[in-house]
Amino acid sequence: DTGVSQDPRHKITKRGQNVTFRCDPISEHNRLYWYRQTLGQGPEFLTYFQNEAQLEKSRLLSDRFSAERPKGSFSTLEIQRTEQGDSAMYLCASREGPGETQYFGPGTRLLVL
């Protein structure tokens, strides 16, 4: 039984570039979440999918952030025109149903120079 996986684990980019992160949830989990964590803070919720439907996206930080889950399996989070303030750990989590625990992946650490 594999857990949530994320790729890449680390990304260094220059300001203004676009980046895309991938998340593969636990196979039977139909709910998928993206979070951002900055230094000294807890994870901050960004967006939520149930199967391929994005049910909550108002918490995405700006219109430069977008997420997809085209076939209800893996998901991608894209940040366009990156800024230094986007440097953070981006976490993905999945769960099986309502009221169930969310299980987190190892995260993608982004550094924008």
Partner 1 sequence: DQQVKQNSPSLSVQEGRISILNCDYTNSMFDYFLWYKKYPAEGPTFLISISSIKDKNEDGRFTVFLNKSAKHLSLHIVPSQPGDSAVYFCAASARGGADGLTFGKGTHLIIQP
Distance between first and last Cα of the chain: 37
Range 21-60, binding partner 1 (CB under 8 A): 31, 33, 35, 40-46, 48, 55-56, 59
Smallest separation (angstroms) from partner 1 to the CB of 72: 17
Tell the residue number behind the tokens 């993206």, with chain if given: 34
Nearer to partner 1, 91 or 112 (CB): 91
- Using CA atoms, how far residue 88 sits from 78, 82, 106, 111, in Å, is 14, 12, 13, 7
Smallest separation (angstroms) from partner 1 to the CB of 43: 5
SS3 at position 84: helix
Range 84-113, binding partner 1 (CB under 8 A): 91, 93, 95, 98-107, 109
**Distance separating alpha carbons of residues 89 and 86, to the nearest angstrom:** 9
- The contact set with partner 1 (CB under 8 A) reads 4, 6, 31, 33, 35, 40-46, 48, 55-56, 59, 91, 93, 95, 98-107, 109
